[in-house]
Structure 1
Amino acid sequence: MRLKALRESRGFTPERLASALKISTGRLQDLEEGRERITADLMRPLSRVLNAAPADFFDGFSVTAQGVVRLTEDDARAADEEARLTRDFALIRDEDARQLILALVSSYAAFGDLAKA
């Protein structure tokens, strides 16, 4: 399930990822559904293509400055959301729009908790 979530968060279709890895879509589906384990030989190209650390493929783990750490459910969800935001933000070509989005996110981060009070 983690592989599928990473693939989707990076904007890959099953066909596109399978092609990049030079494997069949059927094999990719087996990997995503846990019928086949990810081998060490496949981990390197998966990490490269999806721009992910090996620990990212295992639910509940991530690589931080402190090394590999177990994530809480909220942290794992936030990491997936961050990956989606990063991917989608990179697709915005209008510099003015990008700056407005950054200002909105920064403002909400600074004052969002005040709005709940």
Structure 2
Amino acid sequence: MKKAPDPIDKHVGSRVRMQRILMKMSQEKLGEALGLTFQQVQKYEKGTNRIGASRLQQISKTLNVPPSFFFEGAPNSQPASGDGFAEESSSQYVVDFLSTAEGLHLNRAFARIKDPKVRKRVIDLISTLAEQDEVAREPGIGDTADK
């Protein structure tokens, strides 16, 4: 039975992916720079293979970031205090989204908009579209068949 990737390995891998995409570098190009196959880069990015310290140093040099960059926002490895219920970091979904090509594209485009009024209109538009999408996916909405 396969063991699930460690949350920190997944986080580090997602940060590698995010920085690679920000630099507009393919998995193949990163692999070439590191002497690896693109499949190995994929495994690192998914967290299925753990990245060793020396390899992480190589990756940080290739992607022009300090090694600490890959741990920023990492899940806390300490046991949760309190009643035993731990919530996922509220920023994790942002990291996950920005690790996708869509997220980076949207973020770059939005960052180019300098007018605060236009930014607000974009946010309002996206919020409205998201609400409409949620309503459209609700059971019974859009069904035309009478039962």
Distance 2:114 2:48 in 1: 42
Distance 1:4 1:44 in 2: 15
Residue 44 of structure 2 corresponds to which residue in structure 1?
A: 31
Structure 1 segments unaligned to the other structure (5+ residues): 62-71, 86-104, 113-117
Distance 2:52 2:69 in 1: 15
TM superposition score normalised by structure 2: 0.43
Higher helix share: 1
List structure 1 segments (4+ residues) > 4 angstroms apart after TM superposition. Answer: 75-78
CA deviation profile, 1:27-80 (whole Å, cap 9, x unmatched): 11100111101100101110100001112113516xxxxxxxxxx56x9689x9
Structure 2 segments unaligned to the other structure (5+ residues): 1-12, 75-90, 120-147
CA RMSD of aligned residues (A): 3.6
Distance 1:59 1:14 in 2: 22
Matching residue within 19, 26, 36 for 2:32: 19
Q: Any conservation in 2 of the 1:6–1:57 contact (CA below 8 Å)? A: no
Residue 53 of structure 2 corresponds to which residue in structure 1?
A: 40
Distance 1:9 1:57 in 2: 14
Task: Verify: 1:56 aligned to 2:56, yes or no.
Answer: no
Percent sequence identity over aligned pairs: 24
Aligned length: 89
Alignment of 1:72-111 (within 5 A): none
Higher strand share: 1
Residue 128 of structure 2 corresponds to which residue in structure 1?
A: none
User: What residue identity is the alignment partner of 2:39?
Assistant: G
Residue 22 of structure 2 corresponds to which residue in structure 1?
A: 9
TM superposition score normalised by structure 1: 0.52
